Structure 1
Amino acid sequence: MKFLIDTNVVIQLENDGEIQAKFAELLRRCHENGVQVFVHEASIEDINRDPKEARRKATLSKLDKFPQLKKIPTPSLDDLKAKYGELPKPNDVVDVKLLHAVSIAVADFLITEDDGIHRRAKRASVADRVMTVADALVWLKQSFEPDTIFLPAVEDAKAHELDFNDPIFEGLRSDYGSYFDTWTTKCVNEHRDCWIIKDGDALAAVVIRKDETRSEAGIVKPGKKILKICTFKVSEDYRGQKLGEQLLKQIFWHAQRNKYDVIYVTAKAKQATLIRLLEEYGFEKTGDLDGGDGRFEKSVGKGKVSLEKGETPIAAARKNYPRFHDGAKAKKFVIPILPSYHAKLFPEVEMLPEDVATTAGAIPGNTIRKVYICRSPNRTIAAGDVIFFYQTKKKGSPRSQSMTSIGVVENVRHTLDADELRRWTAKRSVFSDAELQAMVAGSSPLKVIDFLLIGHIVPPLPLTALTSASVLASWPQSITKIAEPRYLKLKPLINLGFDF
């Protein structure tokens, strides 16, 4: 496997002679696990344009430590613009040359902290090939040291339970100065509600929230019931582990079930990763506030999701998450999944006590974006389709022979190539590198299904209930389409906590 690292990463490898810990760890783990690290020759061209000789020489000396990718045929400037957007500056051209290199698999992943590159990658549908340093570190650990990954869970807390001297709050304290103590005192005094994720005693992530009136919020989108996300923080030590996605999912489910009209959050421009995540799931920037914060709002819809003109079912699912379009344009499928793979894909369900399986309501999953890998010959499943996971027989399991989970398909691809499988699954997979290699050891292509996890069905629907309602004729042995009349019989049996 090959990493291409952007200049902005290389420059940070040394800061006044001190090796930056996370970049040094990235290189160490790459070396230990046989992952090659390259720079692009275009990065050299970019550095050579620096008019400051001393800085130019220092940067080039850092780049000299890495082999270069050279003589990569590049499309015309017009073609690059068509794919990646306007290129007003020379360094913009360098950026898209790096993206082009990973798009044609000269390198497997581009590692960059540049928000502009991440946005161009999304525009060109190559975002799954671009990682931050934190993303890359998590991928290396999961692929080659899978036992090191912890299974996070969101817990409810009150603000007075938090230690505001914890390192996770250092950035906020720095940004807001003396007002930080005033604000934390207010949070404690009002017993504000929080969601936290802990790793042992370490606070890995936190959200502090409150209800607001329209006059307090000063928002643009209509509605009376308003949820303000006062704080949304992931510890530097836990970046790349999808904790932000997990907390965002928690926010969406809470707002949807409790019939809020609007969610809003403020964020500084430097919080580029958070802003990209918010925008991915329907938040819109509606204004700038004093102090440099931007205000981002999302309407919380109710009822059936209808497609706007030209809108696809998957685009509607992202915008309205966790609500989704289930009209005739979205086909429905049931996917049988072995208990061992179910535990890998949905660990949050396996961690539930057995008596929860008999409790009304539904629980959201840990992260939103997931990937399912199988060898089904089905060629009709496509983006926007709704999928229902059915756990096969397992003695003693409350989910044995039951429909447990719902998702919406984002993408479907096929491969027999191990490197291709790594590239496609790196930002979603729960499997180690050894497990992925074992999967390709067969003669038929693997089907790789990227999907958004809508949620889990609680209690799960057993086969007896599914056959009695004429949803299924018998237990599914492979990916099976659910005809629309049968789906209409299934829908009333599912309680997600909101209408769909």
Structure 2
Amino acid sequence: MLVSIFKLRPFNECDINDPFFDSLRADYHPDFNNWFEKKSESNEQAYVYLDGGIQAFLYIKDVDDEEVPDALPKAPRIKIGTLKISEDSRGQRIGEGAIGIALWKWQQSNLNEIYITAFKKHDRLIAILESFGFVYAGKKRATGENVYVKDKRKLQYADAKRSFPYINPDFKRGKYIPINDDFHDRLFQYSELKGVRRSDDDATAASNGISKVFIATPFSYIDYRPGDVALIYRRHTGDGVRRYKSAVTSFCTIMKQTPVKQNDRHVKTMSDYMSIVGNKSVYSPDELKNIYKNSYHKNIIIIEMAYNGYFGAGKNVNYDTLETGGLFNRHPYEVVLTRDDVLRVLRMGGKGEQDIDINKSRAC
């Protein structure tokens, strides 16, 4: 799997003496250094987020018939062996991005469960885990850590983050969300296009995270409902024939639509608007305020969504293909797709049954 900001690096390319690892050394003394050196010697890799220095470290592995005493019975499962986020990166939503990478890997496995252990003091990490549907399974007596597990057989589809990365198999309809290329590329870091080079330097809290906010300024009412599958349509604004360069790159689940301004009248205060958007959009605080105050915008709608997946460079589905296939014949905001229509687009983008059907992505 392509990782845009988190880079897959060998352990032996990471400095074990980096102060970033000090808290892990303290938590797992005296075993941490020995463990790290063994991973280095066996050429194992981890996802590393670099911004000047190491800001996050994520190690994932498959475990074969492992038992977690006092918590989980013996079974094959995915283990998040190490997940640490630097205190300096607080507010950048790197932890949410790391969990997203781990869950995408879990999705591609045929294993039912993924788990992680965490000390009780790591309350922010635990809060993120719980928001993604991990549940407490017991305490690992040997270390005193809590054990959290997520099971494909027990997903809670009422909350799109808790069921992430899976879309609800019973979803009813789909919608397009049109986003100009520049904003798209900053918001959806993993949604790459063939021949388009992007810089990791453009990373923001919004691009790091899995939950996203899009701010729509339509001329008339739009209708996005919780549970809708949103196909992210990247509108090409540069040179070339837009028919072939504008394309669906990604798919999300709508979590909420919130009107901020309707028919030229604000229905949310500036404070409420800024609070809802938070750090989940690509706009700076000043840009957000300008959108709110701009008299040209008759309507302002906040659309919150979970970033379920992306097609990848060379697999995106362009407008010509969609229009020819009868899937795109009106303004993007106005198109309503049936469940079968959405599944057609996902398959056009190279997504197989394992990505679409939860029953095809787990052990029986």
TM-score when normalising by structure 1: 0.60
Match of 1:212 in 2: 63
Kindly indicate whether the alpha-carbon contact (under 8 Å) linking 1:314 and 1:409 is maintained by their aligned counterparts in 2.
Answer: no
| Percent of aligned positions that are identical | 25
Match of 2:286 in 1: 434
Cα deviation 1:177-233 (Å, max 9, x = unaligned)? 222222222322333321111114x11100123322224555866785422222100
Q: Paired residue for 2:318, among 449, 453, 462?
A: 462
Say whether residues 1:192 and 2:44 are aligned partners. Answer: yes
| Higher strand proportion (structure 1 or 2) | 2
Match of 2:336 in 1: 481
Match of 1:258 in 2: 109
Match of 2:257 in 1: 412
Partners of 1:176 and 1:437 in 2: CA distance: 46
RMSD: 2.9
Q: CA 1:173/1:486 → structure 2, altered by over 3 Å: closer, same or farther? A: closer
Kindly indicate whether the alpha-carbon contact (under 8 Å) linking 2:190 and 2:310 is maintained by their aligned counterparts in 1.
Answer: no
Stretches of structure 1 lacking an aligned partner (at least 5 in a row): 1-150, 358-364
Kindly indicate whether the alpha-carbon contact (under 8 Å) linking 2:64 and 2:75 is maintained by their aligned counterparts in 1.
Answer: yes
Match of 1:378 in 2: 221
SS at match of 1:214: strand
Partners of 2:120 and 2:340 in 1: CA distance: 48
- How far is 1:392 from its partner? 2.1
Partners of 1:183 and 1:484 in 2: CA distance: 48
Q: CA 1:178/1:223 → structure 2, altered by over 3 Å: closer, same or farther? A: closer
Match of 1:21 in 2: none
- How far is 1:490 from its partner? 2.8
Partners of 1:383 and 1:266 in 2: CA distance: 32
Partners of 1:489 and 1:153 in 2: CA distance: 30
Kindly indicate whether the alpha-carbon contact (under 8 Å) linking 1:255 and 1:300 is maintained by their aligned counterparts in 2.
Answer: no
Say whether residues 1:444 and 2:298 are aligned partners. Answer: yes
Q: For residues 237-248 of structure 1, what are the structure 2 equivalents within 5 Å?
A: 237-248=88-99
- The one-letter code sitting in structure 1 at the alignment partner of 2:235 is T
- The one-letter code sitting in structure 2 at the alignment partner of 1:452 is A
- The one-letter code sitting in structure 1 at the alignment partner of 2:10 is K
Say whether residues 1:471 and 2:327 are aligned partners. Answer: yes
Q: How many residues in Structure 1 have an aligned counterpart in Structure 2?
A: 330
Match of 2:204 in 1: none
Partners of 2:131 and 2:257 in 1: CA distance: 20
Kindly indicate whether the alpha-carbon contact (under 8 Å) linking 2:96 and 2:210 is maintained by their aligned counterparts in 1.
Answer: yes
Kindly indicate whether the alpha-carbon contact (under 8 Å) linking 2:71 and 2:147 is maintained by their aligned counterparts in 1.
Answer: no
Q: Which has the higher contact order (CA 8 A, sep 6+)?
A: 2
Q: Paired residue for 1:494, among 349, 352, 360?
A: 349
- The one-letter code sitting in structure 2 at the alignment partner of 1:354 is G
Say whether residues 1:228 and 2:79 are aligned partners. Answer: yes
| Higher helix proportion (structure 1 or 2) | 1
Partners of 1:345 and 1:249 in 2: CA distance: 15
- The one-letter code sitting in structure 2 at the alignment partner of 1:461 is V
Q: CA 1:222/1:353 → structure 2, altered by over 3 Å: closer, same or farther? A: farther
- How far is 1:420 from its partner? 2.5
Pick the structure with greater CA Rg: 1
Q: Paired residue for 1:400, among 245, 255, 263?
A: 245
SS at match of 2:162: helix
